[in-house]
Every structure is written in structure tokens, then in C-alpha cells.
Amino acid sequence: MTPTPQTLTAERILEATEEVLRRHGPAKATVVDVARALGVSHGSVYRHFSTKAALREAVTKRWLDRTSDSLSGIVAEDRDPEARLRDWFTALFAAKRRKAGDDPELFATYMVLTEESGGAVGEHLAELTGQLRRMVQAGVEAGTFSTDDPDATARALFHASRRFHDPRYAPEWEQPGTEAEFDAVVDLLLRGLKA
């Protein structure tokens, strides 16, 4: 039952920053704007994030983590690894395409953010290939997949499917035939994985 203007916390700053980015876009969002939205001076924001870049990277990390978290459910399921892999790719592509289609401006904002925060993106890519590796290993243990280096194979799967999750291809995702191309690539990859 506490009212909104509680103590200033990193979490509240991140929420306000997301809102400011949504409203103003990445080029015009300033930390003065964020401070104003919170009713504090901009000096207070610097008490929690030492730099504007650090603040933006933290927002980026939250956004990327939301995607990995939603996919981790599929990885954890107790099912045929091939079906899980297929569903994982489908879910990743669908999530990205939905975000890009529903709110193109916000998507463009996060594209700018990811380009500038190399560290958070690197961690995100590592997390996703880690999820792939777990499913590949499950398939190898079940005898349906065959590979001598599950980690390298996981990275290969990730790179071979970039056309369908790398934001830079977003403009091509709505063109006719993309769905069929996605299916053809996934089919080819899963065939190559079979024992």
C-alpha cells in the first residue's frame, strides 16, 4: 500500500528509463529526462549507475534476459530433443518477429541499444548457445543425434539460423516466403544432426 514515490532504487530507475526510451527514442532519451520522470535530480541517478552507458546497458540486459528466460522453459521440458529443438527455434523466431512487427519503433530502439552494449549481447548469445548445447547433448545421450563436439554444433546451429533471429534481418521477416525458408533451414539443420 506504499505510494509511488518510494526510496530511489536501481529497479525503479530501470523502469523509468525503459519508459523514457519508449517515449523519446534512443537518440533523444537523456538522463535528465529519466530523473524528471522520477521526480529527482539527475545527480541521484548517477548514484546508482556510474554512467549513461551503464544505465542503457542494464536496460538492454533486462530486455535480452526476458527472451532467454521465456525459451529456457522449452529447454527444461522432458521431451524428444528433436521436437524441443524445433519448438525452440520456432519460439525464438516467433518472439522476435512479433516484437519487430508489433512496435517497430521500440524494436528499433532496442536495436540501437544492443549495438552499443557489446558486453550484454555477448552474454546473451552465450546463454542462447548454452540452451542449444543442452538440447543437443540430450539428443546425443538419447542416441537420436550424433556429433563429436556438442558445443561447436550448438554454435553452428545458432549461426546457421541467424537470418531468423538477428534483428538486422527484421525487415525481411514479413516478406512472403519467409516462413517456408525458415522451415527449410530448420529441416536441413535437424537432418544434419541426426545419428
Partner DNA sequence: CAGCTGACAGATTTCAATATCTGTCAGCTG
Partner DNA sequence: CAGCTGACAGATATTGAAATCTGTCAGCTG
**Contact flag: residue 17 with a second copy (CB under 8 A):** no
* Cell numbers that stand for 121 in this block: 549481447
Residue with cell 546425443: 140
146 belongs to the binding site for DNA (CB under 7 A): no
Q: What would the x/- binding string for a second copy be over residues 20 to 49, using CB under 8 A? A: ------------------------------
Does 131 interact with a second copy (rule: CB under 8 A)?
no
Considering only residues 21 through 80, tell me which ones interact with DNA, judged by CB under 7 A.
27-28, 30-33, 39-44, 46-47, 50-53
- Contact between 99 and 107 under an 8 Å Cβ cutoff? The reply is yes
Positive or negative torsion for Cα 31, 26, 70, 38: positive
Identify the three-state secondary structure at position 187. Answer: helix
Per CB under 7 A, does 91 bind DNA? no
Q: Which residues pair with 169 in a beta bridge?
A: none
Instruction: Name the binder of 174 from DNA, a second copy, none, CB < 5-8 A by kind.
Output: none
Helix (H, G, I), strand (E, B) or coil at 161: coil
Contacts to DNA by CB under 7 A:
7-8, 27-28, 30-33, 39-44, 46-47, 50-53
